[in-house]
Structure 1
Amino acid sequence: MTSTLFLVMDMLNDLVHPDGAGGKSYVPQMAARDVVGRTRAAIDKARAAGALIGYVRVGFAPDYKDCPASSPVFSKARENGLFKLGSWGTEVLEALAPEPEDFDFVKHRVSPFYGTALEPALRARGITRLILSGVSTNGVVHAGAREAHDRDYACIVLEDCCAGATAEEHDNALRSMARFVSIKASTDVDFAG
């Protein structure tokens, strides 16, 4: 039984598809660094090593009753019809699509832990190590890394499988996280470990 879960976070059409609302923000940075290709390769490598895979998706009920109106991050979601569960926008990018056995964690805030089934699933499966990737580096990845640290999980962030809206956002987030987690390239990680 594996003790590792690889989390692919917020790789949603609304954020990372060229036709999605966030396409102008994240797609250029992702394309420049081949984040989708590297993430696909990391998922395949993790599966081959027997690691569990989990997807984290931000999403809200169709009436947005669980969307925080006061949030500078999410307040525009309702206005613009973003992150509506059951829509194309909250589906994982097709190139990274989950398999039936993968975990699917839906969140309503930035953190992958807050109000989700992530921690109960980790405890039930005896997971002690998390490998994190996704968009944005300074959002869900940073929040997940800090919380994983504080919840006593060993944590690795795959630098080449993350992106911010700018290279500066990405780099600043990595520098900030380096005190709490290990930052590595996906090619340097043993997913079976």
Structure 2
Amino acid sequence: MNWKTAYRSFYYANAEEPADIRLNPLTTALLVIDIQNTYLENKDTPEETERWRPFYERMRNIVIPNTARLIEECRRRGVEVIFARIACLKPDGRDRSLSQKKPGFNYLLLPKDRPDAQVVPELEPREDEIVVLKTTDSALTGTNLRLILHNMGIKDVIVAGIFTDQCVSSTVRSLADESYGVVVVDDCCAAATMELHHRELEIINMIYCHVVQYDELLGFFE
């Protein structure tokens, strides 16, 4: 099964296969979302850390290595590489959106200069690469990324990052609403569980984006 037939939801179960994807490096950007140190740290208890073990293993063994390869491939081809990370500007987090102030998993207090707010070392941005800071799920609505993409003449955006069912999905929907062509790289993304990951990809595929594998993506470049 390839990207044209994978992740079909009820809505697209009987739809025709989509057209081939062609990406012009000069009008394409790679957006790496929220792959930050905080998400690789152990939880408060051994039991909770163990509950998250599958996520940690996917990140270390699949998502981070594949995203590193993707970043280098995009750099080599002249594709603009952009990073988004969750980070507040005020130490007490007063500038955060409501969703990041509520109790629970999504509560985040990540001052922008703190080590746990930084992109993981394996994916460290280069000096001339854009990093946008956000206190929202969507990297588009919570930053000036929309203006940046417009000013650089970007038409298509490749998306990698976490969490598939939260910030990745919100960003993809925002990009689609702005009429960008969006490609989500399955094996460069993760949710807390594989069930959540697969279900969200099924939901957004063919409506807001096309979901592909890393190896498939390389054949799309002109």
Q: Deviations over 1:15-50 (max 9, x none)?
A: 1x24577x944413324x511111101111111111
CA contact (8 A) 2:141 2:174 kept: no
- Which residue pairs with 2:131 in the alignment? 104
Counterpart-to-counterpart distance in 2, 1:56 and 1:81: 15
- In structure 1, the residue corresponding to 2:26 is in which secondary structure? coil
Sort the Cα spacing of 1:81 and 1:111 in 2 relative to 1 into closer, same or farther, 3 A: closer
Match of 1:145 among 169, 172, 180: 172
Q: CA deviation at 1:116?
A: 0.3
- In structure 2, the residue corresponding to 1:8 is in which secondary structure? strand
TM-score, normalization by structure 2? 0.77
Q: CA deviation at 1:144?
A: 1.1
Gaps of 5+ in 2: 1-24
Counterpart-to-counterpart distance in 1, 2:208 and 2:144: 23
Match of 1:62 among 82, 86, 91: 91
Q: CA deviation at 1:85?
A: 1.2
Match of 2:193 among 144, 156, 166: 166
Counterpart-to-counterpart distance in 1, 2:116 and 2:159: 21
User: How many residue pairs are counted as aligned between the two chains?
Assistant: 186
Letter in 1 for 2:195: E
- In structure 1, the residue corresponding to 2:113 is in which secondary structure? coil
Match of 1:180 among 183, 188, 208: 208
Letter in 2 for 1:94: P
State yes or no: 1:125 paired with 2:147. no
Counterpart-to-counterpart distance in 1, 2:108 and 2:86: 13
- Which residue pairs with 1:13 in the alignment? 37
Sort the Cα spacing of 1:20 and 1:186 in 2 relative to 1 into closer, same or farther, 3 A: farther
- In structure 1, the residue corresponding to 2:94 is in which secondary structure? coil
- In structure 1, the residue corresponding to 2:171 is in which secondary structure? helix
- In structure 2, the residue corresponding to 1:54 is in which secondary structure? strand
Letter in 2 for 1:150: D
Letter in 2 for 1:169: L
Counterpart-to-counterpart distance in 1, 2:92 and 2:191: 28
Letter in 2 for 1:30: M
Match of 1:39 among 51, 64, 67: 67
Counterpart-to-counterpart distance in 2, 1:75 and 1:147: 22
Q: Which has the larger radius of gyration?
A: 2
TM-score, normalization by structure 1? 0.88
Counterpart-to-counterpart distance in 1, 2:221 and 2:43: 34
CA contact (8 A) 1:14 1:20 kept: no
CA contact (8 A) 1:149 1:181 kept: yes
Identity %: 25
CA-based RMSD? 2.2
- In structure 2, the residue corresponding to 1:140 is in which secondary structure? helix
- Which residue pairs with 1:84 in the alignment? 111
Gaps of 5+ in 1: none
State yes or no: 1:27 paired with 2:56. yes
